[in-house]
Amino acid sequence: MTVNWRSELAALDRVEPSRDLWGDALARAGARPTAASPRRRRAPLVAVAVVAVLAAILFATPAWALVREILPFWSQPKAPAPVRVVFSSLNLGAPRGMSPHAVSGETRDVGQFTFGGLAHTLWVAPAKNGGFCVLWLPHGGGGCSTAHLPLGTGALLRPSGVPEWLTGSAEASLVHDVVIRFSDGTTVRPRIVWVSAPIGAGFFAYDVPANEQSRRHHVTTVDAYDRAGRLVARQGFR
């Protein structure tokens, strides 16, 4: 089985505050600023202001908002025959007119995700109705998306109704970020693998820590946001 890892976005380098180089030079030389000095210092001051503004933008903007790495679907390894058979079965037994028409022969391996104590391969196939079908194998579930909803989620729930792990997809044209929220107010942004056309979606999985699986501490929602930071979809949990 071919494993395709896609590196997460590199952390932004720290931007050190700019120094007043002209003033430092005058101080080392023991000179006092003359009447002309402010004109000479104008350019460094402007540069300092520009650097400060850029630094503020960089640190206030998460990495996902700056760069989105797109995985080219057609370049990914094709699925072996047993996996293609499973995708073919998704077309069977659907109510009349509701079959996704998954193109099982074009199923691709788009990466591995670890949750529930296992490494799962994410297999994705385009569907003739314009959607796509996914399977997280082994034992990770899956399904088909044909309505182009902003957010789709799956989860393994404890008897209390709180998730042990989560999987999901996000419509690339509508969603730019996914946030998992907890009952204690903390949040997590899962790694998202964005896949090119004909899929046009991002996929994520998250293993909920053991200390966040109780009635008191647990996942409350999975939220999807657009590029402007507006909430476009929400999946809630008990």
What confidence tens digit (pLDDT) does each residue in 183-218 have?
A: 999 999 999 999 999 999 999 999 999 999 999 999
**127 & 209 share domain:** yes
Phi/psi-derived region of residue 134, left when phi > 0, alpha when psi is between -120 and 50, beta in every other case: beta
Q: Is the dihedral of CA 130, 189, 76, 107 positive or negative?
A: negative
Helices (H), the chain: 21-29, 37-60, 63-66, 81-89
SS3 content of the chain, % helix, strand, coil (to 5): 25, 35, 45
pLDDT above 50 (res 220): yes
Q: Which residue has the tokens 């501490």?
A: 217
The two structure tokens encoding residue 66: 């700056």
Rounded to an integer, what distance in angstroms lies between the CA atom of residue 123 and that of residue 133? 8
In a domain, 227, yes or no: yes
Of the three residues 29, 60, 91, the one that is the final residue of a domain is 60
The mean pLDDT of the chain is 79
Assess contact for 177 and 163: CB atoms under 8 A. no
Q: What DSSP character marks residue 78?
A: B
Number of domains observed in the structure of the chain? 2
Among the ranges given (74-83, 93-102, 152-161), the one the predictor scored with the smallest mean pLDDT: 93-102
Which one has a higher pLDDT value, 55 or 156? Answer: 156
In a domain, 206, yes or no: yes
**31 & 124 share domain:** no
pLDDT above 60 (res 233): yes
**54 & 77 share domain:** no
| C-alpha angle 235-117-136 in degrees, rounded to nearest 5 | 55
**42 & 115 share domain:** no
**For residue 99, what pLDDT band results from cuts at 50, 70 and 90?**
confident
Sheet holding 70-71, edge to edge: 70-71, 193-195, 201-207, 163-171, 151-157
Average pLDDT over residues 173-186: 97
The predicted model scores a pTM of 0.72
Domain with 36, as residue range(s), is 21-60
**47 & 74 share domain:** no
In a domain, 46, yes or no: yes
pLDDT, residue 146, reads: 80
HEC string for 185-238 = CCEECCCCEEECCCCCEEEEEEECCHHHECCCCEEEEEEEECCCCCEEEEEECC
Average pLDDT over residues 218-229: 97
pLDDT, residue 67, reads: 66
**83 & 47 share domain:** no
pLDDT above 90 (res 61): no
**76 & 173 share domain:** yes
pLDDT above 90 (res 98): no
Average pLDDT over residues 66-89: 92
pLDDT above 50 (res 15): no
